[in-house]
Structures are given as C-alpha cells and as structure tokens.
Amino acid sequence: MIKKFITKLLGKSAGGSKPHFGRRTEVPASVHGIDPQLVDERAVNVVSTLQQAGFEAYIVGGAVRDLLLGLRPKDFDVATDATPEEVKGLFRRAFIIGRRFRIVHVVYGRGREHEVIEVSTFRAHMDNAAAEQVKGNERTSKRQLEGMKHAVDSSGRVLRDNVWGPQDEDATRRDFTVNAMYYDPQSQIVVDYHGGIQDAKKHTLRMIGDPAARYREDPVRIIRAVRFAAKLSPLGFKLESKTAKPLIEAKALLADVPQSRLFDEMLKLLQTGHALASIAQLKHLGLAKGIYPLLDVVVERADSDFVKGALADTDRRVGEGKPVAPSFLLACVLWADVRDGWAQRLARKEHPYPALQEAIDEVFDARIGDVSGRGKLAADMREIWMMQPRFEKRVGATPFSLVEQPRFRAGFDFLRLRADVQEVELMLADWWQEFSMASDAEREDLVNAAKAEQLAKPKARRAPRPEGVAARAPAPKAASASLPEQAETAEGEGAAKKRRRRRRKPDAEAGGQSGAA
C-alpha cells in the first residue's frame, strides 16, 4: 500500500531519481545452486517458526551472497514482515535492540558457544518526499507515523529506519545488489529484485539506485563500500565504477555522523578479518584520510612493521575463528605516541611509572577523546602498556604475579610483536613464553637462572629512590629502544620465597588478543 501510494503521488525523490523497487524474480535451486547443507539449522528454525505463525520470512543479505558463492556464512540474518514485537513473542530468548534501526536478536545456546540470529522487519523505502506524502495519507497508521518521526533530514540522510513496508521496498533500501537477495530454506527459492545473482556471478559490487543519493541517505555506506570491497576482493569482486565515483565527494557527509558510530564502523573495518585489505582499498579509492581521525592514524602507520604485524595478526586470528580485542589493536597503533611521550619524560628525569601513566593520559586525550570514555577499552589498553616495563624484570615475585594477571596474554602478545620488530630482545619474549608454559618447579629454575644472569652483569650505579618506586633507566635512544629495566628489591626476593604454592598456568592459546577483550 505504501509503495503504490508513493509511486503514484511522489514523482522524484529527494535524491533526484525515482525509487526503483525492481521486479520480483524467483530463482529455483536448479538455477542458483545453493547447497542446503551450508545453511545454519538455527536460521532455518527461525524462518520456519515465523512462517508457521503466518508471516513471510527469509534468510537475507550477506549470508545469501556467500551461499551463492559456495561459502559457509559466519552469520545469518532473517527478514520478515512481522514487527519486532511479533517476532519477540514467538521465541523464548529474543531481545529487541536498537533505536535508529530496531531489530530482534534470537539467541541460541549460552556462554561463548551462543549464536545470535538477527531478525529485521521489512522496511519501507523512505526519503523526504516519501515521508511527507505518507504522513499526509489519512490511511497511515499511528504506528507508522511514529516510526516516520524525524525519519529523514533536509539533506536526505535517513535518521530513523523503523517504517515497515513490503519486501520489494525492503530490497531497495538495502545497499548493494548482492546483499539484497532473500532465500527461503523451505522452498529453496531465492527472491531477487535487482539482479543480485547476475552481479554475484560477475563479481560486481553495485549500489542499488543512484549511488550519490544512497550515500546521502546514510554516509556510513561509504565505509561499508570499502569494507565489502576489501572482504570480497580475494574472490575477485570490484566496486562498479558508478558506485565508486561519488565516494571522495561524499566523504564530507561523514562529518555529520556521530563519532561513536564512526568509531564502531572503524572497528568493523579492522576486525572482520580483512584489515590489511581494507587499508589497501582506502588508499586505492582515495579515502586514506578524512573518514575518521583515528582511522587516519591507522592508515598512516599501516606500513610500519609493528602496526602491520598487529593488523596481520588480527586478520589471522579472525580467519582461525579466534577472538580479537579492539584494545589490543589500538594499543599497537598508538604505541609509538605512548613510547615517544614516555621517552621525553624520562629525559626530564621523571620516575618511569608515573611518566608512563602521564604519557598514556596524553595519548588518550589527543587520539581517543571521549568516544570510548574511560571505560573498559581504555582500561585494557592502559594495562597492556603498563605491563611492558614489568616484562623487563624476570627475578623476584614479579614474574609469578604478572603471569597470573587476566590480561597477561594480551600484554605478552604485545611484547612478542615488539620483539619481532627488534624493539626488545627476542630472548626476552622467548623467556616469557617458556615461563608461561612451565611448571612451578621449572618457573623457579627460570627465575634463578635469570637472577644468576643479572648478578653476572656489572652493576650500574643507581640513584636513591623512595621505597616501592621503580628505578629510572636511561631514555630510549630511538624507536627501537627497550623499556626501562626494573631494579630487583629485597622485598621482591622475600615475596618470591613465600610464593611456593601451586600456581595456575595461563592457557597459551585461549588467551592472546582475547585476554584484553
């Protein structure tokens, strides 16, 4: 009803072109060739539950694209004509989330093994003209009017997307043709309105409708275009020229997007297993600067061995199905700032630990701002950085207490990356690797050996210091300089003797970046 009303009365949209809702094409299994064995049984269960309740329901989006390519999707989304409230009422563990875009999370399983099937309601295609015309229609329900409240701003940007509509309009308001197909696992039919199957076969990423208008509707589509181009580039996909052409000019529209949303989109760009490819796409498309300040820093430093190693490690872990933590990656990206600020303070003869804390605070203020607040992300980054000087001390009680900390594995992975680029000695990282995997008796032997090694070295004259304050070391000579070595204290030796009880060894593989999550 909404589509017919808009088509009859609107003329052109705010973007300057008529909405093209496409023609419904039902493609049978004999043509599309999707293997039903690749479809998650929980997604099938969600679809069948909705259909049995009298609603339309399909697997939708990237999952259909991957199935067409013969890939097993990591995530499954479902689209339906049921409202969020109606969906929630059909499942025992279902939760309505979001405000700008209300969806339902149907949850299966618990703990780390749980899986979420995301269910969205068919949305209407909305722009300024459409919103005003539908508001003026006396048949428009109160619920639809509430959903359209402040739906689109004067520039054509969609502010809220909770206006329900038919399936063909839902397909039109999606971004790329290969993401706008619907698969019914019961009948095994793919519903295609915009030639998505043909584009998938041609390995083409094409925006539905006028790309410039679509970027105005939601400027974050600029980042999504980069992300999908990076994700699908190994399969030979490329952005259609008409889709890529407006990107540079449209980049200015991102200035009106909330910083928190840009921060989240940046993390998606870097933590979905295609970080290096995403940065390559940003450079290729002329978007290396100006999307988001912190992303500019990532792109600028992506060619350095340290940051490139962190990005490659993140891609590897995602590919292996292991968890990754934004705190670890951002700690790697901003380490040069922390290290340099710390070195400057050490050169002014400030105490090492307070100097490191001040350098970290300065970097948070300059680079992170209030996007992440001073919450868990910042706390985890701080802990990774503050661990680094402690790794230099391999005698006394420090090794035993450090290895038991929840973030030890993230801190150690950080140390290992520093060793890989020769910022610290490889021997140091190897020692901690061995210590973390050793038995209690072996740990004692390793500490004793490190102590004997330290005693064999000529003792450096140290200035007096207050009790409990770490010794000051010379400032790092260059970017590859090691962190200050902490002096052994008599108290540390006494504490070590008291720690003869059995200690829990960290899981070497279950940790990693996830230790900072």
Q: Are residues 228 and 346 in the same domain?
A: no
pLDDT of residue 486: 38
Q: Are residues 378 and 233 in the same domain?
A: no
Stronger pLDDT, 459 or 221, i.e. the higher one = 221
**pTM across the whole model:** 0.76
pLDDT of residue 185: 96
Q: What whole-number percentage of the chain has pLDDT above 70?
A: 76
- Evaluate whether residue 316 is within a structural domain: no
Q: What whole-number percentage of the chain has pLDDT above 90?
A: 66
Q: Are residues 293 and 227 in the same domain?
A: yes
Strand ranges in 231-309 using DSSP code E only, listed in sequence order:
238-239
Is pLDDT of 479 > 70?
no
pLDDT of residue 74: 87
- What SS3 class is residue 121? strand
pLDDT of residue 485: 41
* CATH code for position 115: 3.30.460.10
Q: SS3 sequence, 484-503?
A: CCCCCCHHHHHHHHHCCCCC
Residues 424, 425, 430, 433, Cα dihedral to 10°: -20
* CATH code for position 351: 1.10.3090.10
For residues 7 and 162, give the distance between their C-alpha atoms in angstroms, rounded to a whole number.
Answer: 20
Is pLDDT of 508 > 60?
no
For residues 465 and 349, give the distance between their C-alpha atoms in angstroms, rounded to a whole number.
Answer: 12
Mean pLDDT confidence for 215-220:
92
Of 207, 242, 265, the residue at which a domain comes to its end is 207
- Evaluate whether residue 320 is within a structural domain: no
470: phi > 0 → left, psi -120 to 50 → alpha, else beta; which?
A: beta
On whether the CB atoms of residues 326 and 376 are closer than 8 A, the answer is no
- Evaluate whether residue 55 is within a structural domain: yes
- Evaluate whether residue 184 is within a structural domain: yes
Mean pLDDT confidence for 101-111:
89
Select which of 66, 127, 161, 175 is catalytic.
175
- Evaluate whether residue 253 is within a structural domain: yes
pLDDT of residue 11: 35
pLDDT of residue 455: 82
Q: Are residues 193 and 237 in the same domain?
A: no
Mean pLDDT confidence for 445-456:
88
Q: Are residues 150 and 227 in the same domain?
A: no
Supply the range of the domain harboring residue 226.
Answer: 219-303
Take residue 285 and report the two structure tokens written for it: 């498309």
- Evaluate whether residue 297 is within a structural domain: yes
**Total domain count, the chain:** 3
241: phi > 0 → left, psi -120 to 50 → alpha, else beta; which?
A: alpha
- Evaluate whether residue 213 is within a structural domain: no
pLDDT of residue 110: 81
Q: Are residues 203 and 285 in the same domain?
A: no
Is pLDDT of 183 > 70?
yes
Of 160, 179, 207, the residue at which a domain comes to its end is 207
The gap from C-alpha 62 to its chain's centroid, in whole angstroms, comes to 17
pLDDT-based confidence at residue 457 (cuts at 50, 70, 90): confident
Is pLDDT of 359 > 80?
yes
Least confident of 155-164, 300-309, 422-431: 155-164
- As a whole number, the mean pLDDT across the chain is 82
Is pLDDT of 405 > 80?
yes
For residues 382 and 338, give the distance between their C-alpha atoms in angstroms, rounded to a whole number.
Answer: 10
Select which of 77, 168, 313, 413 is catalytic.
77
Q: Kind and range of the H or E element at 444?
A: helix 440-456
Judging by beta carbons within 10 Å of its beta carbon (0-12, 13-18, 19+), is residue 107 exposed, middle or buried?
Answer: middle
pLDDT of residue 10: 33
pLDDT of residue 376: 84
**Catalytic annotation present for 75:** yes
Q: Are residues 15 and 149 in the same domain?
A: yes
pLDDT of residue 160: 52
Q: Are residues 195 and 46 in the same domain?
A: yes
Of 207, 228, 257, the residue at which a domain comes to its end is 207
pLDDT in tens, 222-257: 999 999 999 999 999 999 999 999 999 999 999 999
- Evaluate whether residue 494 is within a structural domain: yes
Mean pLDDT confidence for 489-508:
42
Is pLDDT of 14 > 90?
no
Least confident of 294-298, 388-392, 507-511: 507-511
On whether the CB atoms of residues 272 and 231 are closer than 8 A, the answer is yes
Q: Are residues 202 and 224 in the same domain?
A: no
**Catalytic annotation present for 175:** yes
DSSP state for residue 460 in the 8-state scheme: P
- Give first-to-last CA distance, the chain, whole Å: 47
Q: Are residues 282 and 411 in the same domain?
A: no
Take residue 81 and report the two structure tokens written for it: 């004509």
Q: Are residues 414 and 502 in the same domain?
A: yes
Would strands 77-80 and 238-239 be described as parallel, antiparallel, or unpaired? Answer: unpaired
For residues 261 and 249, give the distance between their C-alpha atoms in angstroms, rounded to a whole number.
Answer: 20
Q: Are residues 195 and 224 in the same domain?
A: no
